[in-house]
Amino acid sequence: MRYAHGPDVLHNINLNLAPGSFHFLTGPSGAGKSSLLKLIYLAQHSSRGEMRLFGQDVRACSRNQKSLLRRRVGVVFQEFRLLDHLSVFENIALPLRASGIKRDTYEEDVVELLSWVGLGDAINAYPRTLSGGEKQRVAIARAVVAKPELLIADEPTGNVDPDMAIRLMRLFVELNRLGSTVLIASHDLQLVRASGAPVLTINDGRLSAPKTPRKRAR
């Protein structure tokens, strides 16, 4: 994969995320973590090779088919990407509305999720009034609310305190238990080790085989 006419950013990547698996992705800044995630959720296209998402050859898909594939993926972006003209509730419910689901069937679930991420009192607030950590939690809630088949998260706990990071990780684990495949890019090695989940490491655009870290003794 490369941007414009520049050099390759990713090199000979061979990655298979089994349905229902949970992986972390680590590596130094600039190693290619975000580029790999963008490739997986179809924000970028590979310059060569083959990519399949939910069994479909992405390079052979039409624009409409790719749009349908993206609806099956939940994404937590580093830059949040909240819509300023929508309330917290409306931002979180956006994936459900886009799927044509009526509000009275999901309102209770959204309210419960808001409480889980510690934003029960911010249901009618707007993004411009929130702190970075609060925006991060809204973005996470939006990504998981539709119980996506695949969840991609880029540094999802980077703007929250350690206790909230653990709470949010439990949310990802629960989503995984419900059947979602989860891939989380993180610099938080303590959180990674505590999880015990397999770790993929990327460096200079090259991906290593997954390893399972030892959990720290309690």
Lookup: tokens for 115: 């409480």
Please count the residues of the chain: 218
User: Residue 5 class from Cβ within 10 Å (0-12 exposed, 13-18 middle, 19+ buried)?
Assistant: exposed
Pick 1-72+150-218's CATH classification: 3.40.50.720, 3.40.50.1220, 3.40.50.300, 2.40.110.10: 3.40.50.300
User: What Cα–Cα distance (Å) separates residue 24 from each residue in 3, 81, 194?
Assistant: 25, 22, 12
Q: What is the pLDDT of residues 26-42, one digit of tens each?
A: 988 888 888 899 999 99
pLDDT grade for 22, boundaries at 50, 70 and 90 = very high
The domain ranges of the chain are 1-72+150-218, 83-147
7-16, 22-31, 141-150 — which is least confidently predicted? Answer: 7-16
CA distance 214 to 193: 6
pTM for the predicted model, two decimal places:
0.88
Ramachandran class of 133: left when φ > 0, alpha when ψ lies in -120 to 50, beta otherwise: alpha
User: Residue 142 class from Cβ within 10 Å (0-12 exposed, 13-18 middle, 19+ buried)?
Assistant: buried
- Residue 204 neighbours by CB under 8 Å, 6+ apart: 11, 31, 32
Q: What is the pLDDT of residues 91-139, one digit of tens each?
A: 999 999 988 899 999 999 999 999 999 999 999 999 999 999 999 999 9
Residue closest to 192 by CA, chosen among 23, 20, 29 = 23
Q: At residue 215, does pLDDT exceed 60?
A: no
Lookup: tokens for 157: 């706990």
pLDDT given at position 7: 52
